[in-house]
Amino acid sequence: ATSDILATMPPKKEQAPVTTPEVEELVALPEDVGPVPDASFCLALGHLFGHSFLVQPSALPEDPEGACGDDAAPPAPIKFDPKAVLLERAKVPATSQEDLLAKSVMVVEREELQALAKTPEGEDMPLAYGLKQRLEKERVARSRAKINAARRKALEIAEAAKAVGDADEVGVEESAAGAGDHQPNEPAAAKADFLLLSTDYPANVEELQELAAEGLCSNEIIDVWAAVYLAGETIELGGADGKPLVDDDGLGDGPKLIPMETPELVRGFYDAVQGAPIGSELSGFAICTIRDSNTLCLAPEGSSSAEHVQGAVLSALGAEASSRKLFSTWVQAAQKISVPKIDPQKGDARLYHRMMSSIDTWHHDIPIFLHCLTEQVERTLGGEAQRHEDEVALGSLMEYLGVACDGVITDGGGSAPKPKLRYASAEQLSSPEQPQQQSTNDVDGGLLLPHLDRTVCNHHLGHRGGEAVINGESVAIIARRVLDEVVVAGSRRNGLPKDSNFSRAQRESLAYRLYPFAPQLSSAELEQLMLHHAFEELLSKAQPERRGKWCLVDRCFRERIPHDLVAQTLGAALQAEPLVSTAHVPRHDALLVALHYRSPGGRLMWHAWRGDLFTEPGAEDWASGLFTTPTYNDWAQVFGGRSGEAPHPRLLLEGFDSREFGYAGVFEKMATPPDGSVILVTRSEIGLSCSFPSPSNEVPGGPGTESADRAERRSALDDGASSVTTATVAAGRASPFAEAFSTLRAARCDVPPARVSRTARVFKDGLVFGIVSDKSFEAWRHDVADRMARAAAAAEGVVAAEGADEEGAVCHDEGGEGSSDKEAHTDAFVAASPPFEGASLGSLWISLPGGARCSARMHHESALGKFPVSLADPPRALPEMGVLFTYTMFAGQVIQVFGDGSVCLSWPLELCEGTLQHEVNGAPAVVAVTAGSDPNAHAGCRIKTGFIPGSPEDCEIERTITPSGTLCRRLVSGRIEVYHADGTAASRNPTLPELRARMDSLRCRPGGAAKHILEFLERLQKVYSEKHLEPLLASPSDLEKAAGLPGHWVVVRPDGLVFGRVTPLQECISSIASNAGANEGGADACGSEGAAAGDVGGG
């Protein structure tokens, strides 16, 4: 009967699972219980990725004695998927609010997000909106639950204390305060409190960017947003039986493990983070890689593998959240320095261009450049740059118009000057009298120039035709004023104590104490010996690896340098890039400065300097320097901020991404051969190619991931890699920041830099020279490949055209297949490697003491026609070629000697547009002077030739002399003039398209150096457009032929005969051919057109 009753009862209704937590009421605290700090709550949003691994069971079960011998087979591998284990645990439904709030990990799927992605009005929203709504509910409910738990614990402690009867008010308050998780100023908990896993959203990079646009971290909805990648190794199976392979590295007899490949979506997320701009939500997206997650199957005793995986994931996210809080504090503590943004359309650099172009290029050095640049920046920041330059231009124009009016009134009695936009300032134009220039002779105090004052020597002796001035001020005075602001060792007590240890009388007393002990020496000799001894001690400390003591008794030459020339003298000495060591001598209150090289003969020495965020802790730069702004990922992993020992900068450059402008470093390898030369190999790095290592199971910087560049960097930075304890290393170990720096370096990940430059230089007897790779040779190889490809395509086109004429309609039907074969053949050739595979050429460069440079490389351009163009067998051996020697003067002139013996001399455009002011009839005039010609040849005359190629304004920019005596001149307009040794002369004027291309190239030149040349070409183009825009339809006049037609060669023989020659354009040939084939008399028509073309070009 009982069983019948049970059978007829309805089945028990299952309780619906609870998915959304509800917000609890805040637990009230009585007055006798002190305030309880709100417990910290860490909410994480994660996207889980992993693999299914084959793992070896940890141990076999206990066998009966004798059941298993030594030859027992190892247990078969089992599958372990940590991702599936964690998701299975997280998807267990909760039956009550208590069970739901007790869960640390939950899963939200796309279907749930689609249901939440609706506004209260029922409007559909993106899935990111629904995920944001879910996270807000989870944070409010779970943080309230944790606060209530802390308050309930405080009540229990207080009630227990009262029950015992030995609790006073202070004890109750302390117990209540201890109920919280931690004090507000303490770091966050080690584990994340709750993790919401979004399994199938985002499914691509676009959805990741959509989720980042919601600003979940910036709005403090979540504490950490990361992708959790469970990386690891799996057992490799092989053979026909599919058994595990044995590891053959000789370290053991275990199974062979191979790393699993990173999922494609994780790599896509990684690339998206690297390309995210600074300050964006996506740039702070973290990828937590849990390496060797295949070992998580070995759970501790008393816990399951699911609990072990969950604990590892929550610990990684908790550490990430703690690091993110440190980063926020680090950034907020620094003062932000913003660089003013200037609209390029409103920016005005005319003052800089006018000041730089007002002097010869001989005077263009670093002090003058800084002076002109700072003047322009100051004027721009003041908002007066455009108005001031408009006044200058207007004043010059009014002067020009006034002189031109006087010329009209006097019927051409005077010459009107062109507007002087390059010379006069607004103050000079507004005043009738020019201010008197200060001469450099007033600076040096006489006609003789001191050799130590390099500024006066360069700017006074190097000027032609008088003293160079900028806005009425001497260039030498400007350069000296800039150099006076340079801080070097010893100037303005740099490197010395702020106050002297002894007074002047005390220092003299200390000096006199030594004199009685050396009566045979004069005071000057004794002082010199004391200085020698001090320098020997300084160098011994700087180079402890040097065997034997220093001996400087042979340094008998002594030269006094005026205090205002110390910066110039040290600046010139530092151009050889020595190491600088200093020491303070109290008995003289002086600073010893030793310039030396630390590499003994036969040994290499490494040196490294790092700046920006790689500056060592404790350096003064952290308090006074400017630093770029990092993103969270590179701050935590490359800078090492997650270690908690990161130094805090006082100033941060807002908007300057450290991944692009920061993390600078210089690594130098130095050798000093016995011949007295110095060899320096310098590697400069800046920026980061990635903000953190790529997610994989490999440990960053492990033994299998180190490249040659990283090995060099590690050798330069590792103190233990040095064979001796240098003074720098010893000082670093004794520093109070040594332990912090060691912790910081251990937390850093080594990633490749964004930009790298490597140079090798040799210093020998005042010369600096080196060899670099000839990059022009690689470009030339690809150019040869393109020429061969075009030749192959043209040959195929001819063959196809002949086949079409022979086969007719049949070939027309099969034309698609034929064209495909042709394209395949051409593509196969283009895809082939360029010729001369494996060949590499270099270039030797030498820097001379006077500022000139020369280089020598193989003249591979001359060998272009010395090998056959073949599709089947491209050339591999280099043909014979000469050497191209280039000599560049300090002022910019370039002399080149080609492989065939030709010599080419070219001038920079700054020199080509050089002008001289002449006083003609009391009015200043500006006359253009061709580079290399007599500047007085055009004085007092007016140019009446107009704007045509070959006029005096069309200055020469290049001339070439061949071994046969032929002279070739190239003018700025593009006109070419050739003068042969037998008296024959030829010239060719540019065409209108060539002239336009020339103008486009000049507009792209920075600095506005070709401003006046561009003005001349614009007027020349206007004349060309009026006369030669349309094709020639009739025979030109004799005057037009003599002046030169665009694109036509005019040849003048020694006997007076004049010939014209022109290469017709391809479109003209096609047009003539089509017109000729349209009628029966095609041949006659073509002949007549050819005759007409000959008449056009003839003389």
Q: What is the pLDDT of residues 65-102, one digit of tens each?
A: 444 445 556 677 889 999 999 999 999 888 888 888 88
CB contact burial 28-56 (16+ within 10 A = b; e otherwise): eeeeebbebbebbbbbbbbbbbbbebbbb
Distance CA 269, CA 285 (A): 9
Distance CA 561, CA 541 (A): 26
> Given this model, what pLDDT does residue 83 score?
93
- Separation of CA 214 from chain center: 31
> Given this model, what pLDDT does residue 1009 score?
54
Which pTM does this prediction carry? 0.71
Query: Rounded to whole angstroms, what are the CA distances from 571 to 251, 489, 491?
Result: 58, 11, 12
Radius of gyration of the chain (CA): 41
> Given this model, what pLDDT does residue 922 score?
36
> Given this model, what pLDDT does residue 967 score?
95
> Given this model, what pLDDT does residue 1085 score?
31
Token pair belonging to 498: 């702020």
> Given this model, what pLDDT does residue 686 score?
93
| H-assigned helices in 560-625 | 566-573, 621-624
Residue 77, strand partner residues: none
> Given this model, what pLDDT does residue 869 score?
52
Distance CA 410, CA 418 (A): 18
> Given this model, what pLDDT does residue 1089 score?
34
Q: Give the Cβ contact number of residue 781 at 10 Å.
A: 18
Residue 799: which residues within 8 A CB-CB, separation 6 or more?
A: none
Distance CA 675, CA 364 (A): 35
Report how far apart the first and last C-alpha atoms of the chain are (Å, whole number): 133
Distance CA 984, CA 982 (A): 6
* Nearest-10 crossing angle of helices 350-357, 366-381: 150
Token pair belonging to 821: 């074969």
Distance CA 683, CA 667 (A): 5
> Given this model, what pLDDT does residue 188 score?
41
| Residue 1053 three-state SS | coil
* Nearest-10 crossing angle of helices 992-1003, 1011-1027: 160
Question: Which stretches in the chain have pLDDT values below 70?
Answer: 1-15, 58-74, 165-189, 239-242, 247-253, 342-347, 396, 400, 407-450, 460-467, 547, 599-603, 700-737, 795-834, 864-876, 909-946, 1005-1011, 1029-1033, 1063-1099
Contact 875, 833 (CB under 8 A): no
* Nearest-10 crossing angle of helices 385-409, 366-381: 100
